Amino acid sequence: MTSRGLNWTRALAEGAVRHTVPSVLTADVTLGGDVARLVAVVPDPRSPYPRARNGEVGLREGLALAEAVTQVVTGDAHRPEHRRRPIVAVVDVPSQAYGRLEELLGIHHALAAAVDAYVTARTTGHPVIALIVGTALSGGFLAHGSQANQIVALDDPGVTIHAMHRRAAAEVTRRTVEELGELARRIPPLSYDVKDWATLGLCDELMDVANADDPAGEDTRKVKDALTAAVARARRGPRDLSDRLTSPGARRTREASRRVHEALAAQWP
């Protein structure tokens, strides 16, 4: 099985692409003066967990992500903070793995381990960049990508970023998929269009490529340049995620969120 996450990791990688587990890949790429670590979740049709065979972030994936990121953090602990390696999360994840087995064995712990590893990397000086090349949905994106200092996404119809799948959102809200689509034309957070998502102030760069499914040549160079710029911005910017509410886009479209955040901060000394 192939996926955009797999194709982009191979296209960007310089040298060997390694498997932490069959569904979690790591590789290195030169970005300006840095050698960055790529981390990706890819399909594994032979996974012993049936609900995690199509690129979902499940039990093994969450723990393997934590291992891959933590290896970079511990390996760079001796380096000055401004020279610690960037970590690029290549994101193409349809969701977390929904299954009774996953719930019984504690998928929440596995995904929390991945989140904690990314947060530790970001707060100890590693620029963490999310490169969204395909689907970024639900708990899969929360565990792999959402904790990045900078988020770069491809401007392509195959890129979807949202809290849940369309059909699930329709069931939860007791609407049809068509009714949700009509609402999304007026309410950007309900939209599945990456351009609408980018207006919320969460996207640091939205970029065009010629072939999002099979990258090569100019597309690869263009993305490497964007990642290099994102690393530089991450090193200059805050290590927390405060800029997600202070960016120009957020100031235009997330005024209510900003007010709620300020009110909660005032009540939580």
pLDDT tens digits along 175-232: 888 888 888 788 877 788 888 888 888 899 999 999 999 998 999 999 999 999 999 9
Take residue 206 and report the two structure tokens written for it: 């939205």
How far from chain centre, in Å, is Cα 121? 14
Q: What percent of the chain has pLDDT over 90?
A: 74
Q: What angle do CA 73, 152, 81 make, to 5 degrees?
A: 25
For the domain 4-237, what is the CATH code? 3.90.226.10
Half-sphere exposure of 96 (CA within 13 A, CB side): 24
Whether the Cβ atoms of residue 12 and residue 29 lie closer than 8 Å to each other: yes
The per-residue b/e assignment along 170-197, b for 16 or more CB within 10 angstroms, e otherwise, is: beeeeeeeeebeeebeeebebbbbbebb
CB-count exposure of residue 134 (10 Å: 0-12, 13-18, 19+): buried
For residues 110 and 190, which has the higher predicted lDDT (pLDDT)?
110
Report pLDDT for 233: 96
- Flag whether pLDDT at 171 surpasses 90: no
Q: Average model confidence (pLDDT) for the chain?
A: 93
- Flag whether pLDDT at 104 surpasses 90: yes
Mean pLDDT value of segment 123-139: 96
pTM of the predicted protein model:
0.93
Residues of the chain with CATH 3.90.226.10: 4-237
Q: Which pLDDT band, with edges at 50, 70 and 90, does 106 fall under?
A: very high
Q: What percent of the chain has pLDDT over 70?
A: 100
